[in-house]
Structure 1
Amino acid sequence: MDTTTTFFESFDGTRLALHEVAPETGHGRPVILLHGLFSSAQVNWIKFGTAAQLAAAGFRCLMPDLRAHGQSAAPHGAQAYPTDVLARDAQALVAHLGLDHFDLVGFSLGARTAARSVIAGMAPRRLVLAGMGLEGLAGWNHRMAFFRKVIDGFGTFRHGDPEYLSQQFLKTSGIDRVAVRELLGAMEDTDPAALAAITMPTLVLCGDQDNDNGSADKLAQALPDARRATIPGTHMGCVTRPELGAELVSFLTTSA
């Protein structure tokens, strides 16, 4: 299936890329898919066929490159990264497209962004938090310290170091390290009590070898209306597998 790419201006004028894969009819139920840290819409959703699976099931896949990622702008300076900037970018996307009925899917950083967006008032029909556990939301400061270590020590980590895989992924992505380091500081810990605002049906989805963001079971238990699903793979490996798309299609097409 073909991918179309357009650009829009976010709340502060930052130019963000939006990639779209639609059913052959050209129409479909909108689903916004938010990718992970150091990644892009192309890597997370398009390259390994997840968007194609959703489009084949009748969904219109709307996949932004997050600020400082992919084809989106990567401005320098703290003024470009206010608190919850990614959630504000997501809200700007919904407003730009004029959406009032859509589903929302996030993986890792995208899941954190999706949760923060809903807590701030976004109201998708259904929500998927993938590659995320309770500690990944409530303990962001700990995760931020890890990723800043990866950025600050870029090129020094060797195979076997805890930071090595993230370093290699960052190297492959070619992301602006100055910009993404500033982006990390735009996020805050999420009080578990705030999760009560996430009232829509939610799928908490993780690989069976993925504990990078803490306990997915605890996250599901903390949400008012959540179900839990597991697919094969590590945190970075599970996005390459067809089971990811299959679980998304199953959850998003369930009527009850």
Structure 2
Amino acid sequence: MAPQLQWSHLRVFEITTSHIASFDGTPLAVHRTGSGRPVLLLHGLFSSAHMNWIKFGHAQALADAGFEAIMPDLRAHGQSAAPHDPDAYPADVLVRDCRHLAGALGLEDFDLVGFSLGARTAAAAVMAGLAPRRLVLAGMGLESLDNWHRRSAFFIDAIDRFDEVKRGDPAFMAVSFMKTMKVDTVAARLLLEAESDMDRADLARITMPTLVLCGEDDRDNGSPADLAAALPDAQLRLIPGTHMSSVTMPEMGAGIVEFLQQG
């Protein structure tokens, strides 16, 4: 007997895009799909909402499960503005953008998900007072929260040597991805310099249930196990993949959905 079709998984939800002026007037692109409990999803460095959440089906999985996926392109990424004025990148600008978007969108009872830089931003936004019901920190380890300058120095160096990096160079993959994503390197460099380190003691302020979701071969941002252990109410889930490949896996979306459906 042929298996019955699961019609709920065949629905294709429309993706709408609008632009919202952030705290300083910078236009930020916000993509939305599905209906139900809102989930704010923050993508990774040099990526976009489309690359991290839409292309590989994670937004569709959330929509199928009865959530609304709200996916901004971070400042200097995707369809959002990428200003070259250094004044457009005050300290912790992404946290300020995140909190402003949550307010502008009227998000009160919502969940928050971030991958890599998006996870870092999500954690910092919670420390700054944002209060999602549940939190997912994907592609993130403890060391990239309080030792960011070491991590960002690698990417700043890659940008500074952008036209010189050849295959075999440690920065080759990063530069290749920036080229694929058509990253504005001037804006990206300013953004990297605007990020600041966190104090591990402030992790105690992340009190909501949290999922640390990471590729089993991903240690690019440090130890996910140490991050989960440092949080008051966290669980660790490993899925197949490296830092770059884990976000392409269906297990990423499935893990997010399963966690958000709890409680």
The TM-score, its normalising length taken from structure 1, stands at 0.97
Residue matched to 2:32: 20
Structure 1 residue corresponding to 2:96, chosen from 84, 88, 110: 88
Q: 1:115 aligns with which of 123, 131, 134?
A: 123
Q: Which residue of 1 aligns with 2:19?
A: 7
For residue 187 of structure 1, the aligned residue among 182, 186, 195 is 195
What are the residue-to-residue correspondences of 1:48-59 with 2, within 5 Å? 48-59=56-67
Following superposition, the deviation at residue 2 of structure 1 comes to 1.8
**What's the counterpart of residue 42 of structure 2?**
34
Other structure's SS at 1:254 match: coil
What is residue 252 of structure 1 aligned with on the other side? 260
1:72 maps onto 2:80 in alignment: yes
Instruction: Find out whether 1:213 has 2:221 as its counterpart.
Output: yes
Deviations 1:49-84 (A, max 9, x none): 010001100010000000000000001122100011
Q: CA deviation at 1:161?
A: 2.1
User: Which of the two has higher C-alpha Rg?
Assistant: 2
Per the TM alignment, residue 157 of structure 1 is displaced from its structure 2 partner at its CA by 2.0
Structure 2: gaps of 5 or more residues: 1-12
Query: Is residue 2:252 matched to residue 1:240?
Result: no
Q: 1:156 Cα deviation (Å)?
A: 2.0
Q: Tell me the alpha carbon deviations over residues 139-160 of structure 1, each in whole angstroms, 9 at most, x when there is no partner.
A: 1000110000111111322223
1:144 is aligned with what amino acid?
S
2:143 maps to 1:131:
no
Counterparts of 1:33 and 1:97 in 2: how far apart (Å)? 13
What is the CA–CA distance in structure 2 between the aligned matches of 1:75 and 1:99, rounded to whole Å? 27
SS in structure 2 of the partner of residue 12 of structure 1: coil
Runs of 4+ deviating beyond 3 Å: none
Letter in 2 for 1:75: P
TM-score (norm: length of structure 2):
0.94
Q: Structure 1 CA distance, aligned partners of 2:212 and 2:237?
A: 6
Q: What corresponds to 1:60 in structure 2?
A: 68
Aligned residues with identical type, % of pairs: 62
Q: Aligned partner of 1:63: which letter?
A: M
Name the count of aligned residue pairs: 251
Q: Within 2, Cα distance between the matches of 1:218 and 1:45? A: 26
SS at match of 1:52: helix
Aligned to 2:176: 168
Gaps of 5+ in 1: none
Report the RMSD for the aligned CA atoms in angstroms. Answer: 0.7
Aligned match of 1:231: 239
C-alpha distance in structure 2 between counterparts of 1:120 and 1:11, whole Å: 15
Match of 2:148 in 1: 140
Q: Which amino acid in the other structure matches residue 127 of structure 1?
A: L
